[in-house]
């Protein structure tokens, strides 16, 4: 499946807890994000700077990456985009 969305959540952008009552790493937050973006989990790359949300997204089948620095993030995203 091709990647159709890249979600960066550095600094808590994805936190929509006030509207939904759910937050990372609850699987429902990733399901809701996929639904709102119109993509399947395998079609999304998710980047976060904390391990728990990354693990939660991976459990749903999202290509989840742990942000450590800009160069690493770019390399990891490029590797996902080039993967078969």
CATH number at residue 38: 3.40.50.1000
CB 47 within 8 A of CB 57: no
DSSP letter at 12?
Answer: S
CA distance 61 to 36: 17
pLDDT in the model for residue 83: 83
Residue 20 has pLDDT above 80, yes or no: no
* Number of domains into which the chain is organized: 1
Rounded to a whole number of angstroms, the distance between the first and last alpha carbons of the chain is 8
Centre a 10 Å sphere on the Cβ of residue 22 and count the other Cβ atoms it contains. Answer: 15
Per the structure, the complete domain to which residue 24 belongs is given by 5-82
φ/ψ of residue 3, rounded to 5: -75, 130
Is 76 or 34 the better-scoring residue by pLDDT? 76
| pTM higher than 0.85 | no
Contacts of 36 (CB under 8 A, 6+ apart): none
């Amino acid at each position: 499946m091709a990647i159709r969305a890249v979600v960066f959540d550095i600094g808590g952008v994805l936190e929509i807890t006030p509207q939904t009552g759910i937050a990372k790493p609850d699987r429902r937050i990733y399901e809701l994000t996929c639904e709102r973006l119109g993509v399947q989990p395998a079609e999304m790359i998710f980047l976060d700077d904390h391990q728990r949300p990354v693990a939660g997204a991976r459990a749903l089948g999202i290509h989840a990456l742990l942000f450590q620095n800009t160069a690493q993030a770019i390399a990891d995203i490029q590797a996902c985009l080039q993967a078969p």
